[in-house]
Structure 1
Amino acid sequence: MTWIDLPDGTPFGPDNLPLGVFRLGDEEPRIGAAIGDHLIDLAPVASAQMLDGSQLFNQPTLNAFLALGRPAWKATREWLIDLVRNENNRDAVEPHLVPRSAVTMLLPFEVADYVDFYASEVHATNLGRLFRPDSEPLLPNWKHLPVGYHGRAGTVVASGTDIVRPSGQRKPPTADTPTYGPSQRLDIEVELGFVVGTPSKLGTPVSVDAFEDHVYGVVLVNDWSARDLQAWEYVPLGPFLGKSFATSISPWVVSLEALKDATVPLPRQDPPVLPYLQGDLKNPDITFEVHWNGQLVSTPPYSEMYWSPAQMLAHLSVNGASVRTGDLYASGTVSGNAKDQRGSFIELSWGGREPITVNGEERTFLQDGDEVTITGWATASGGARIGLGEVTGRIAPAVS
């Protein structure tokens, strides 16, 4: 399969080769491709092979590469696969294999816009029951369109960045007036993020069928959430300060090409959706693992998501809104039907009423010093795993 020695069970085999941005010591950031426990420093390899556009790999973000579009993405992937499979490339590549443990991984692309969706029926139903116990859990529009909101691109951070506990207004149901202070119900959201490469023209919607022409690949997302701030502020306009303080993403961008054999048909949608949301719809077959202070607490499955990534992009742009290189849109919390498949702690603890035992200590929401790591992998049709890496964050105390 490859001339490179790979550890057993590596998430980054020769069929994956995700791209990311790394810094080695005091050197300038540049682009690498993950393979096993190493990465390939692509700039010197591409330069030595006189690859067209080799200078793009000597950049501090993936944006210039992403902007090239689908034909260039496919050509680059073919080149990468040949580098690791063809023994004749050993002498050119081996000097530029860098242990991943020796580098610092950075935000892989400059985020242009950020949109967060709400695409899991299980999650939306659970939160509807928790937030609106006397009403129907799903609002009337939910099965007709992918519900979403615009977030803050400037607070998307790289995996490993500490998350400062946010402060804001909180009003418990039993209180007459709100108070100000640090969030007491700090939570996670397990999500999958989609990275836009090819922009679209303002006023021209992106069709469901054009999804792969615009989206390069995926990242893991932890969209941190302050549930007490959210519960007080979200009516009538939706999420704001309870969501905008931090969103963590994984450092490696896994291409759609790498995931093409790891998709499943979208679950049946009832009632039927409008024509602009119809097509050959699929979900990546991804399983996540959530570790809370090192303990596995949940394994959400992406395959059950109600709205597909292609539908999300089509709806995002149906009013003529353009997409830009570096846009990130996320799926919303991924939750399965089983309790140990819930992708947020508000669901796992059922609003704080059912504490979770983590390393012998009871938890409902995040405490200062807690660390959450989300990993994920896609399962290809032949059973092979395509790893997505991990996204990690530790909670730091609120700023006084």
Structure 2
Amino acid sequence: MSGKADWATKDYYKELGVSKDASAEEIKKAYRRLARANHPDSNPGDTAKHEKFKTIAEAYDVIGDPEERKQYDQIRSAPVGGFGGQGGFDVSDLFGQRGGGAGQGGLGDMFGDLFGGGRARQPRPQRGSDVESSATISFVDAIDGVTISLRLTSDAPCVSCRGTGGKPGTKPHICMVCEGAGMVASTSGGAFTLNETCPACGGRQLVYDDPCPTCGGSGRGMSARSIQARIPAGVKDGQKIRLRGKGSPGENGGPNGDLFVTVKVSPHRLFGRKGDHLTLEVPVGFDEAALGAEIKVPTLKHGPVTLKIPAGTPNGRTFRVRGKGARKADGTNGDLLVTVEVQVPAVLDQPSREAVQAYREAMAGKPLRAKLFEES
């Protein structure tokens, strides 16, 4: 595409076959008609039509944009004499290219070099994609919360073209498929019309004739980075944590995506987890269960506590120790659930055997299974 200094010598209205007073809709229709007829994909090997396509794209980039068209019309209507006297001036003066160059206060300073003088359309911001990862933490860290370091490899803008998808140094033009909207309508055979990302420009609104050789025109690459992630207290095994803004970088000023971390919690040798409560299985002797006892049991972080076992406690009974469990979302703690397991000795010495034998004889008149044989 040409620079703005060439506008005075180029008739973009003539290139599109419209009058200077044509409406924006008339200009758009003319561009679409000519673009379809001359697009390189429809005319492989036809150099003349390829050049025509570039010319009409350049014309539409300028007069298809209200602000660019206004500037173009002002430049085209300015008196150009070239003799530097009272009656006119040189176009190069208009762009500050005479004498001290473009940096000496001409309109070139004001306009700059937007896409090489083409349409100053900025692609819409695009949100970065979400990233998923996993992390394994200890049981204690899951209860207390922990900050971990994660090494991520994720999708990111191509380092060569900076996400544009075009060969570095080349200029873009408006996508003819979506007409610069970045979205196209899709009916999918149903009664509703849905908008979806334009397949031709990938939502960038602009396209390049020469794709970036590094990314093949996708505008995307891979990025490796390390981040610090805070895992909250009370996280459960298999829970997915969302870290906002820690995903892939956005494009054109768009926000970053999010990072989703699936947490795997290593088992503890003593404690288990039941919601916000911790669980613990404690062995007790037959005599302790039968006669009652006070025993000490460990907690995860608060030191041992004394648990009272009532006489006649059956195997598998669960006792609750309040406030010694996992951290809840409101900052309080759950409970510790202690389940007793009555132990039966595998081997008895002679005194113990005699004591158990005496117990059996004492219970002989109270059979445990008598109710199993009662008539219903």
TM-score range for the pair, normalised by the shorter chain length: under 0.3
TM-score for the superposition, normalised by structure 1: 0.20
Between 1 and 2, higher relative CO (CA 8 Å, sep ≥ 6) is seen in 1
Which structure is larger by alpha-carbon Rg, 1 or 2?
Answer: 2
